[in-house]
Amino acid sequence: MGYAGSGSDGEATMRQVMGATALVLGLLGTDVVEVEARAAETVDLELVLLADASGSIDDGEIRFQRQGYASAITHPAVLSAIAQGYEERIAVTYLEWGGVASQEVVVPWTIIDGPKSAQDFAQALLTTPRRAFGRNAIGSAIVAAQTVIASNSIEGHRKVIDLSADSANSWGGVPIAEARANALGADIVINGLAILCRVCNGRPNSYDLEEAFANTIIGGPASFVVRADGEERFAEAVRKKLLLEIAGVLPTPSPGVHLATRESE
């Protein structure tokens, strides 16, 4: 089975994006701007961890994704990379996505500036119940991520949406191409984490998931997709991805790391 997106004409698509943005704001509520007063400070990076919670992701996979991100954000190498930035802090939120009307903030915007704030973020991530479900709507998920960036009270030198998914399919909602173009137009980089399989061997899809990400989802300066294949290697893949995002440099193509393939990027 191949991967599928959807197309739309200009005015209809713009109305769809605007409607999706209004819906997202209503769904996410005021949590998107509940940040401590110190979060008004400038940060090196605003990072939305946009995690797959669609119908193909069971509760065990939700837990292992969250554990991987919790382990990565508290890792000494990641904290060291944050400390080497100009502002010595980044802002992170964790947003799970499923169907067209299912995008849920799991952890609101948090300033990570050392072990304590990283541990607080990880603890919240591991204890908040799952609320996102439904069939893949990647375009609508990207709109949700852009909305939480636009509505926060933080000023980052760079802005990144970090989408994880086990498929490049998108069924309904805002087309991926339109959501992607809007995010890139707002100077937001989109990176990807292609989740191949948690417990099986080989590829769960008949197509190259990393290539599909590179062709249709990721974009912007120094954008990339990292492959996560297997439960033991997931945390390592997430940590590698966070280190690249914090550094903001173009990674070297290597096994498990693909760059955006469109000529415009």
Q: What is the pLDDT of residues 143-191, one digit of tens each?
A: 999 999 999 999 999 999 999 999 999 988 999 999 999 999 999 999 9
Question: Which of 195-200's residues contact partners 24+ apart within 8 Å by CB, and which partners?
Answer: 195/52, 195/65, 195/164, 195/165, 195/166, 195/228, 195/234, 196/166, 196/227, 196/228, 196/229, 196/230, 197/166, 197/229, 197/230, 198/60, 198/61, 198/64, 198/230, 198/231, 198/234, 199/231
pLDDT at 245 over 80: yes
Report, as an integer, the average pLDDT of 252-258.
75
pLDDT of residue 28: 52
pLDDT of residue 116: 98
pLDDT of residue 58: 87
List pLDDT tens digits, range 221-243.
Answer: 999 999 887 776 788 889 999 99
List pLDDT tens digits, range 39-76.
Answer: 458 999 999 999 999 988 889 889 989 999 999 999 99
pLDDT of residue 64: 87
Strands 103-112 and 42-52: unpaired
Report, as an integer, the average pLDDT of 85-89.
97
Q: How many CA atoms lie within 13 A of 19 on its CB side?
A: 11
What domains are there in the chain, each with its CATH number? Answer: 10-259 (3.40.50.410)
pLDDT of residue 235: 84
Q: How many CA atoms lie within 13 A of 46 on its CB side?
A: 26
pLDDT at 99 over 80: yes
Report, as an integer, the average pLDDT of 27-48.
64
List pLDDT tens digits, range 101-125.
Answer: 999 999 999 999 999 999 999 999 9
pLDDT band at 23 (very low <50, low <70, confident <90, very high): low
pLDDT at 259 over 60: yes
The whole model's pTM is what?
A: 0.83
Tell me the CA distances in angstroms from 175 to 1, 70, 207, one per residue in order: 19, 31, 20
List pLDDT tens digits, range 122-151.
Answer: 999 999 999 999 999 999 999 999 999 999
How far is residue 179's CA from residue 185's CA, in Å, rounded to a whole number?
A: 10
Single-letter amino acid, residue 90? I
pLDDT of residue 41: 80
Give strand pairing partners of 91.
Answer: 46, 111
pLDDT at 6 over 70: no
